[in-house]
Each structure stands twice: as structure tokens, then as C-alpha cells.
Amino acid sequence: MRYFYGDKTPLRILDEIELWKRQESEHTIVIRQIVPNLERDFEEKLKNWELNLSKTAATAVRYIEEVIRCKGMISPVLYQSIRKFTIFALNQSLSFVVFLNLLVAESEAVRCNEIAVAVINHIRRESEYFIGIAKASLHCF
């Protein structure tokens, strides 16, 4: 993402949030699929992550629709709401990365599966990429 799109910046940031939250949600499914013997506690946590990440993606879509309806005339209140939502999405991804690190460190099923470790590390790096985008975007508004 380029960091400044003029009056389209909030819309572009929301597009990124929707994309990455859907991606993170799908990643929880991938992890459950490649580690079929995953401990029940971690499996449940991944299902909760899937649900929460999907909700965040859906919220991004609602904001996108609202911004489009504004036709470029975003109110200061909506602008601040989008900024707060961006911070929320950023913090959610930071927490997801912490969870992924915990999963690799504490799940015997993951540690014994080299492919799972490699995939989870890749997923973590993708979430870290989004974190970088979100942090940079906060300087734009």
C-alpha cells in the first residue's frame, strides 16, 4: 500500500484491513487443517480467532460502504472512528502474532510437524506485514 491517497486514504486503509483480516481468518483454518492432531485448547482458540477476525473484516466492509456513501465528504466523527478502528485492527493482529508464537512454542502437535511450523511462521510474517501497513497508515490521518 502506498501511504497517501489523498481523500481516498481512509478507504484504502479500510480495504487493507478487510483483505488482511480475511486472510488471517483463513489462516486459522489452514492451521487446523495442517495440524489434524492439534490440542483441543488450541483448536478452540483458533476457532475463536477465526470468528473474531471475520467480524473485524465485516466491520471494515461496513465502514467501506459508509465512506462510499459519503462521496468524499467524510465527517470528522467518521474519520476518527476509522482511525480508532485501524488501531483496533492493528492491535488485533499484534495479539494474533503473540498467539501464533505461543502456538509454535507450546503445542506439541505443531512442534512435531515441520510443515506446520514453517506455515505458521509464514502466516506470522504476513500478519507482521499488515501491522507495518497499519502503523504507517496511522501517520496519514
- Position 9 scores a pLDDT of 80
CATH number of the domain where residue 16 is located? 1.20.1260.120
Domains held by the chain: number: 1
pLDDT at 85 over 60: yes
From the number of C-beta atoms within 10 Å of its C-beta (0-12, 13-18, 19+), residue 13 rates as: buried
Kindly state whether residue 46 falls inside one of the protein's structural domains. Answer: yes
- Position 5 scores a pLDDT of 59
Give the whole-angstrom CA distance, residue 17 versus residue 111: 30
Give the whole-angstrom CA distance, residue 59 versus residue 17: 9
Kindly state whether residue 1 falls inside one of the protein's structural domains. Answer: no
Kindly state whether residue 130 falls inside one of the protein's structural domains. Answer: yes
Kindly state whether residue 48 falls inside one of the protein's structural domains. Answer: yes
- Position 6 scores a pLDDT of 61
Give the whole-angstrom CA distance, residue 101 versus residue 60: 26
Rounded to the nearest 10 degrees, how much is the dihedral formed by the CA atoms of 111, 112, 113, 117? 20
Range of the domain at 92: 8-140
Q: Each residue of 6-37: pLDDT tens digit?
A: 667 889 999 999 999 999 999 999 999 999 99
Kindly state whether residue 3 falls inside one of the protein's structural domains. Answer: no
Kindly state whether residue 17 falls inside one of the protein's structural domains. Answer: yes
Kindly state whether residue 122 falls inside one of the protein's structural domains. Answer: yes
For residues 116-127, give the mean pLDDT: 99
For residues 87-93, give the mean pLDDT: 99
Q: Each residue of 23-78: pLDDT tens digit?
A: 999 999 999 999 999 999 999 999 999 999 999 999 999 999 999 999 878 999 99
- Position 72 scores a pLDDT of 75
